[in-house]
Amino acid sequence: MKTRQAFNPYLPSWEYVPDAEPHIVDGRVYIYGSHDLFNGLNFCLGDYVCWSAPVDDLGNWTYHGCIYRREQDPAAPKVRLTNGLAAPDMVVGPDGRYYLYYFMGGTKMISVAVCDEPAGKYEFYGYVKYQDGTPIGKRNEPFQFDPGCLMDRDGRLYLYTGFAFGGNPILLDGSTPTKHGPMFFELDTKDMLTVISGDELRYIGVLTGEEAKGTPYEAQPFGEASSMRRFGDKYYFIYSSLNSHNLCWAVSDRPDGGFTYGGVLVSCGDIGLPGVPDVAHARMDTGNTHGSLIEINGKYYVFYHRHSNRKQSSRQACAEEIRFENGRFEQAEMTSCGLNGGPLAGKGAYPAYIACNVYGRSGTRFLSMLKRPKAGLPYLTQRGGDREEGEDQYISNFCTGCTVGFKYFDLRQTRRLTIHLQGYGNGCAVTVSNREGSEPILRIPVETALEPKTFTGELPEGLGEREALYFSVEGKGGTFDFTSFDLA
């Protein structure tokens, strides 16, 4: 039974869990992902944590704490900064135990940890290995990265891995990126470690690089983030393209090859949707994205992540309901109400960090590991360092000419909107529109507020049950911290 609304990001604003693989166990959705640190110098510097929610209450997430520490892996390099725990995946073995497959920077191998519970304390188990005992990745194969698992209905276990980017020496660690797309290995379910598909590398036909040219994969060649799902009698391979900001899909009748390109599942800047033709028109700062698909109570959802703090390494978990008809997925739109099952209520308090569109007069940026400049661009951030509690994230540099959008609300009975700001802006106003780029439906005069202050306006009648709200600053020199707003 639903007890609370679901927002994006669906975890608390202080939590940074990208690369999420969702799995249902005993009526709960468990999330297995990497763990960024707020303002971290690199990706994936935290230990693995786990969250779960009831399948009928997707706004009610429970924190299970740390489930696996980096130091538990015997091969863990001493230097953490460039050697974090990257995107994992979980599969239930025939023995009923839970196996966590993961990659750690600096090892070149795919490691495995095991636990008797889905979110208990995992213990190191071993390395995926060939039959002679050599770990995969130790024969100068293409770079092993981002393992994805599938336990098929016939009891056969498949592992997918691969990395096609060529310009990241921190991750590559001297290894060769794949030229032939993602690899797969069939593993022996007796030990969940040993490759039984032979020593020769096998590829599933999701193309990248030169091989993708002139094919349907050319616009979205394989980059990283292998994940596999089965719906009905079809196998769906989910991956992040070389464009990085797009999560894509391919489909086949079998798990070990024959995949044909399907399309884009979601873009972390809404790139590809109407009015957003390319990265120059993105509706939020972009970077990499990674995630997967899941069916929950007859509906389909795509899990992915967004970026905050003006750099790539403060990533947050998001999810959207996605349309699935006749075996095909249509690109999902980034929203504030992703797992909610419909628009958010037109009454109550809402934090500004659930914005799904955040851009300045000059647009957005494709982020790097260095913070982008502040000038003219609003951004999501938090006060204090990495932490598990404290104030919510907020939008900083909410400035003249910027746009902050929230989707969607049922505003049929909403009459009043109150915004909470702190900053500078004598003679300015905050305008509110219900369609991007349209004339405002509300203009709220604001002023300099050295302490947090509220400003209120009356909404017009006649608004609908699925309305967006776009906030902008009008007037010279306005610059605020935008923390929250209330609907009444």
The residue ranges of DSSP E strands in 232-332, in sequence order, are: 234-241, 246-252, 260-267, 292-296, 299-307, 315-321, 324-325, 328-329
**Angle value at C-alpha 88, between 197 and 303, nearest 5 degrees:** 110
Catalytic residue, candidates 19, 320, 321, 333: 19
Catalytic residue, candidates 21, 36, 73, 224: 224
**Residue 224 catalytic?**
yes
The candidate with the shortest Cα–Cα distance to 35, out of 82, 83, 91, 84, is 84
**How far is it, in rounded angstroms, from Cα 445 to Cα 478?**
11
**How far is it, in rounded angstroms, from Cα 137 to Cα 105?**
12
Query: Quick one: CA dihedral 334, 339, 344, 349, positive or negative?
Result: negative
- Check if the beta carbon of residue 62 is closer than 8 Å to that of residue 71: no
HSE, side-chain direction, 13 A CA sphere, residue 269: 26
Q: What is the DSSP string of 137-175?
A: TSSSPBPP-S-EEEE-TTS-EEEEE-----S-HHHHTTP
- Check if the beta carbon of residue 408 is closer than 8 Å to that of residue 343: yes
**Residue 278 catalytic?**
no
- Check if the beta carbon of residue 159 is closer than 8 Å to that of residue 146: no
**How far is it, in rounded angstroms, from Cα 221 to Cα 243?**
8
- Check if the beta carbon of residue 344 is closer than 8 Å to that of residue 356: no
Query: Cα-flanking dihedrals φ and ψ of residue 388, to 5°?
Result: -105, -10
Residues with Cβ within 8 Å of 474's Cβ and at least 6 positions away in sequence, in order, are 400, 428, 429, 430, 431, 443
Residue where the block lists tokens 């915004």 = 419
End-to-end CA distance of the chain: 25
Tokens linked to 352 = 């500004």
Query: Residue 201 gets which letter from DSSP?
Result: -
Just list the catalytic residues.
Answer: 19, 224
